[in-house]
Amino acid sequence: MKQALKRHPVIGARIVSGIESLDVVSLWIRHHHERFDGTGYPDGLRREDIPLGSRILAVADAFDAMLYDRPYKAGRPLPEVIEELKRCSGTHFDPRIVRVVLDLMSSPQRVAELTRPPEVRFVERLASLYGLRPPVPGWRERPLVVEEVAGAEEPVDPPG
């Protein structure tokens, strides 16, 4: 099972490699489980040999995996996630990328933005595609629900 999981970066890279505009993304996907100290997979790359996009994805993926619930484990509180990023800086993760993420975390507004559940961000993005716009400042405090977006044919203000 563990070996099958370790193949997912190579499989993911192969899936997008046939799309010309995603060639560089294919490389990032392939190497997003490499570790800064060279102990990662699939190729055991280290430091700057790991593409920058992969180093960024590694931190973003770990942040997401730790913060949000998964079928196999509960999400962790943000302070624990931050401590784990710090602990793994220089071994698992590029310290410069971790520093940027931690700098972003110094703003309460950015913390709220970065820790909003992915499904809420998806619904907001979907709403923007339908031309829905926030009617008043602070509209993000109340997340949109799918029913408000489904079937929208012309721009409307979310209820509230």
Domain count, the chain: 2
In angstroms and rounded to an integer, the radius of gyration of the C-alpha atoms of the chain is 19
pTM score, two decimals?
Answer: 0.69
Query: What per-residue confidence (pLDDT) applies to 133?
Result: 52
Residues 6+ apart with CB under 8 A from 22: 16
One domain, residues 22 and 61: yes
Residue 122 has what pLDDT?
A: 65
Q: Is 93 helix (H, G, I), strand (E, B) or coil?
A: strand
Check whether residue 45 and residue 67 sit in a common domain: yes
CB neighbour list of residue 130: distance below 8 Å, 6 or more residues apart: 149, 152, 155
Mean pLDDT of all residues in 11-24: 84
Decide if pLDDT at 56 tops 50: yes
Question: Would you say the C-alpha torsion 12, 61, 58, 62 has a positive or negative sign?
Answer: negative
Range of the domain at 88: 2-114
* 59 pLDDT above the threshold of 60: yes
Average pLDDT over residues 2-21: 82
